[in-house]
Amino acid sequence: MRGFKSLILLCAATWGLWAAPNCGSAQEVPFTSNLLDWRAEPTTLPSNGISDVDPANQQTDKDDLPQTPIYACACGCGIFEVGTSSMLPEGKGGTVYFEYDFQDQNVNWSGSSRAPAADNDDKEIRTSFFTAGIQYMFDRNWGIQAELPLDYRYFETTGGATGNEIVGNTWAALGDIRVEGIYTGFFPDMSAGVTFGFKLPTGDYSHNDAYDDIDRDSELGTGSTDVLLGGFYRNGLGNSFRWDWFAQVQLDLPFTGRDQYLPGCEADGALGIYYNGLSIDRVKITPIAQVLGSYRAQDSGNEAANPVASGYTRLLLSPGIEFHVHPFMYYVDAEFPVWQHFTGDQLTAPVLIKFIVSVRF
């Protein structure tokens, strides 16, 4: 029976991965909510340093500016939602956690190889993601999880008053809130489960400077309402009870957009192995090795990048380590792309960092 249930879960995950790139466009809804938005003024960056000129004080007709192609920088932050086996439910009760993720997208990539920086008007996206979350299992079958993100971003692109200046924008704002239900009633040991819920359009998707230098896929929020579907499975390796493995998949399927923009569907997955046999006094130490995969379809709508510069597939390797001192748990990993394919010219990060501190109650 266990093998049959595992087969059902595997088939469901496979269907989800197939469905993600085939999802279509969706209807717009009139939703506006910028619950928190701290904005810094744009900074024009000449070739010899940072200028003190504030473009907001310059009177220039946008219609007089040169019309240049719009390029895109895929955020790729959905990859942070998978991996980290310690965050999978293990029993009745709750977990409160704080997560910090960081990536500095400063390498231009096109197709399956690095491309000249001059081919992309965008030069850098450096983002810190701060997320407060809670997970609570009411019993061994049902639970809920919610995440409240606050993001801080520096975006450097070509634009400004002349359309040819290197301009830097820095801002912070609330991101898109995620609320999910959890079901783990397939097996008594809670080794398999599914998640289901929504990503809400609470994030800022309209921040800009005086010259509209920030395009939609560089915003901290997407403006879309997304269906979230996921699943996980974990089990032991051998008879020593010291080695365990896990697999996880997460689908993000936008179905309503805003202001003529709909982000592409995204599928992220993780396959990992970890060792349970290390400890120093009261500190349990768990080394973890993971393979992460990510697919995102192209964005759609009149506000999507033109020429097309969205959508990607990538594979990452991620070593990590976890320290457990009951009831606290500390986790950190680094995620290194080993293969990636981008549509058009997009910025990518050479490494992604994740840190989580959690406490069980």
pLDDT band at 316 (very low <50, low <70, confident <90, very high): very high
User: What rounded mean pLDDT belongs to the chain?
Assistant: 84
Mean pLDDT of 264-279: 95
Residue 279 has pLDDT above 90, yes or no: yes
Domain count, the chain: 1
- Look at residue 42 in the predicted model and tell me its pLDDT: 53
pLDDT of residue 282: 93
pLDDT average, residue stretch 64-82: 57
The per-residue pLDDT for range 324-335, each reduced to its tens digit, is: 999 999 999 999
For position 63, what pLDDT does the model report? 42
For residues 157-185, average pLDDT: 96
What is the pLDDT, as a whole number, of residue 288?
96
- Helices (H), ranges, the chain: 2-19
Contact yes or no for 263/224 (Cβ under 8 A):
yes
Residue pLDDT, tens place only, 109-142: 999 999 999 999 999 999 999 999 999 999 999 9
Q: Confidence class of residue 77 from pLDDT cuts 50, 70 and 90?
A: confident
Q: Is pLDDT at 10 greater than 50 in this prediction?
A: no
Domain enclosing residue 46, as ranges: 2-360
How far is the CA of 85 from the CAs of 16, 59, 114, 195, 279, in angstroms?
A: 21, 53, 32, 15, 18
Render pLDDT for 220-231 as a digit per residue (tens, 0 to 9).
999 999 999 999
Query: What is the mean predicted confidence (pLDDT) over 295-313?
Result: 89
Q: What's the predicted TM-score (pTM) here?
A: 0.82
Owner of token pair 């701290």: 38
What phi-psi label fits residue 301: left (phi over 0), alpha (psi between -120 and 50 degrees) or beta? left
| pLDDT in the model for residue 239 | 75
d(C-alpha 286, C-alpha 322), whole Å: 5
pLDDT of residue 232: 97
Please report, for the domain that includes residue 145, its CATH number: 2.40.128.130
Residues 163, 155: Cα–Cα separation, whole Å: 16
